[in-house]
Amino acid sequence: MHNIGSYDERIQGFSWEIAERELDYQPGNVINIGWYITDRICQMGKGDKLALIWEGLGGKEKRYTYNDIRQLSNTIGQFLRDLGIQPEQRVCLFLDRIPELYIGFAGIIKTGAIAQPLFSAFGDESLLVRLENAETTAVITQKKHVGKIRKILDKLPHLKHIIIVDDNGKSPLQEREVAFNMEEAARVDQFEIQPTLAESPSVLHYTSGTTGMPKGVKHVHCSLISQYLTTSWVLDLKDDDIYWCTADPGWVTGTSYGIIGAWAMGVTQCVSDVGFSAETWYKFIERHRITVWYSAPTAIRSLMKAGDELVRQFDLSSLRHLASVGEPLNAEAVIWSNKVFGLMFHDSYWQTETGSIMISNYPGMKIKPGSMGKPFPGVTGAVVDPETYEQIQETGKIGLIAFRPGWPAMMRMYWNNEATYKGKFKNGWYIPGDRAYIDQDGYFWFVGRDDDIINTGGHLVSPFEVESALLEHPAVAESAVVAKPDFVNMEVVKAFVCLKPGYVASDELELEIMNFIRKKLSPLAMPQDIEYVPNLPKTRSGKIMRRVLKAKEWGEEIGDTSTLEDD
């Protein structure tokens, strides 16, 4: 029996009280996510149960019970408190997928501070804008990443502490740096958890904006209510499951469902810090007898590419439920997974801003391959007219996806950016910025984004950020960055570049520019293709028309170019 039972019945008389009851939470009472994902599970008698099975390079493996993660998160919390970290200050996790990332997340939250996870492959520029905007007080990091922080330290007066979790004492610590070794520190059994309330801030995730710098999405402690119930009903986790969420906690899937949801349900999670290859992934599933697997279309398409024969070399019979998020999941991928695993990937749709799954295919519900499914019970989803923001009643007509605000995990603000936050609400709807249509059975079909943001392998990249970084390269006079189609990543970053006088287009220069962006921003933001052009298409007011360049890449009609600048 699936946790959700019948989708149609759940829609009738839905109330978030279902989750509140299961969590023993009464509105108005203290709610601290850190407590819910560690102490509460121990209090339920599951202290000796495995919470985390971690694998790193070179066959390294570590295992932690719920009692371990309870005590270790206390230990980290106590260390932060002793440093003077105050509730609501931002503490950044700038770590590879090592146990300190997962347990540190709980530790930060227990103190009442706000956890700010950032992808460890970010370069110094990406890091700087996010730490600057959040006025982050402390960063927890590894020796190998500390150089990037030292480089920008001068520009970060708010950053008081750089906590290094793997310092070996070989080279001296520098200004504001302090060593903390989670495994060696004296374990703290009793810790006074900050009595946060429903609206107390918990997590700050950065997401790319279309025209400006990345936006900090502020979440609060009661997001747990949505994250818990969606984990139960969409991912269908049960007590004896071995769960694997492949997302990095630098992104929201890796926290909402790679830390919070599964631990709030007291389930055993596996984490791999080994990187992707089809063989390593299948081996991982086989070795740990993974039962529930939450992944992303890019990974699924890569597995498809690796072929059916490889799948047959592993015993993957433990798998019982598969789900996907982050980008459109093509029908072919769903059909393929059914062929090779005997299970269909269940697509789910949501955003950093929504904090939890909004539209999904549910266990037991008929899947239409290629469709995102239906709104989560308790979420009112619609498609609205892009001009009037009135709900479109007509079946199959494309409009903007819209949700009625009110689910617990919804963002509460863009950090220091109220105007942009307010701009996301129209006519009583929250508008995520995606286009879709609804079919005669109420299933949502994704059509595309309503802006220029590039979705590469499930990660959003802002063309604006890449263009700004490109301008810092001495050879670049001007650039336009657009999405280019790609089988595996769906989209990759392509840059059209006008060179400054005196620079000559060459393959070496292309490589140099690519590398420049990779280091400054991240491997994801690095253009996979650079095309040198003498000039860029612009509107009469001088705005670059990315739309024209993108249409060419995708072999689409260019559309209205009446505002295009005359040659």
Contact positions toward ligand PRX, by CB under 6 A?
Answer: 207, 251-253, 325-329, 347-352, 372, 432, 434, 446, 449, 455, 460
Which residue's CB is nearer to ligand PRX, number 34 or number 328? 328
Q: Residue for token digits 């009851």?
A: 21
> Residue 178 or 447: which CB sits closer to ligand PRX?
447
- Cβ closest to ligand PRX, residue 53 vs residue 460: 460
Q: Please, which residue, 325 or 470, has the CB nearer to ligand PRX?
A: 325
Q: Please, what is the minimum distance in Å from the beta carbon of residue 494 to ligand PRX?
A: 18
Judged by DSSP in three states, 554 sits in helix
Burial label, 78 (beta-carbon count in 10 A; 0-12, 13-18, 19+): buried
Least distance in angstroms from the C-beta of 458 to ligand PRX: 6
Among 356, 296, 350, 116, residue whose Cα is nearest residue 217: 116
Nearer to ligand PRX, 319 or 372 (CB): 372
- 302 Cα distance to chain centroid: 19
- Which residue's CB is nearer to ligand PRX, number 111 or number 348? 348
With CA atoms as reference, report the closest residue to 362 among 7, 47, 1: 7
What distance in Å separates the CA atoms of residue 403 and residue 63, rounded to the nearest whole number? 40
Min CB(424)–ligand PRX separation in Å: 11
Shortest separation between residue 227's beta carbon and ligand PRX, angstroms: 12
Least distance (Å) between residue 380 CB and ligand PRX: 18
Residue 176's alpha-carbon distances to 8, 34, 116, 123, 153, in angstroms, are 56, 27, 19, 20, 9
Residue nearest to ligand PRX (CB): 352
Contact 328/243 with Cβ under 8 angstroms? no
The half-sphere exposure of 478 on its side-chain side, counting CA atoms within 13 A, is 13
Closest distance of CB 217 from ligand PRX, Å: 8
Q: Shortest approach of ligand PRX to residue 267 CB, angstroms?
A: 20
Give strand pairing partners of 383: 401
What is the closest distance, in whole angstroms, from the C-beta atom of residue 435 to ligand PRX in the complex?
A: 9
The set of residues, in sequence order, having a beta carbon less than 8 Å from that of 176 and lying 6+ positions away, is 153, 159, 160, 161, 162
Comparison of 228 and 446: residue with beta carbon closer to ligand PRX: 446
CB of 522 to ligand PRX, least distance (A): 14
Nearer to ligand PRX, 191 or 349 (CB): 349
Q: What residues are paired with 117 via a beta bridge?
A: 93
Structure letter (DSSP) for residue 113: P
Over its C-alpha atoms, the chain yields an Rg (Å, rounded) of: 23
Q: What is the DSSP string of 129-189?
A: HHHHHHT--EEEE-HHHHHHHHHHGGG-TT--EEEETT--SSS---TTEEE--TTTSPPP-
Residue reference for tokens 């694998």: 55
Q: What is the smallest separation between the CB atom of 252 and ligand PRX, expressed in angstroms? A: 5
**Residue 16 or 257: which CB sits closer to ligand PRX?**
257
Other C-beta atoms lying within 10 Å of the C-beta of residue 474: 8
In this structure, what DSSP letter does residue 526 have? S
Q: Which two tokens stand for residue 419?
A: 């105007």
Which C-beta is closer to ligand PRX: that of 230 or that of 455?
A: 455
217 and 16 Cβ atoms separated by less than 8 Å: no
Nearer to ligand PRX, 35 or 345 (CB): 345
| Close Cβ partners of 154 (under 8 Å, ≥ 6 residues apart) | none
**Nearest residue (CB) to ligand PRX, 350 versus 516:** 350
Task: Provide φ and ψ at 131, rounded to 5°.
Answer: -75, -35
Smallest distance from ligand PRX to CB 410, Å: 13
Least distance to ligand PRX, CB of residue 82, Å: 35
Are 441 and 429 in contact, with CB atoms under 8 Å apart?
Answer: no
**408 touches 226 (CB < 8 A):** yes
Instruction: Show Cβ contacts of residue 519 under 8 Å, excluding neighbours closer than 6 positions.
Output: 123, 124
CB of 292 to ligand PRX, least distance (A): 17
Nearer to ligand PRX, 37 or 461 (CB): 461
Q: CB of 95 within 8 A of CB of 101?
A: yes
Q: Which of 524, 521, 530, 555 is nearest to 479 (CA)?
A: 530
Q: Residue 524 CB, nearest distance to ligand PRX (Å)?
A: 11
Q: Which is nearer to ligand PRX, 244 or 282 (CB)?
A: 244
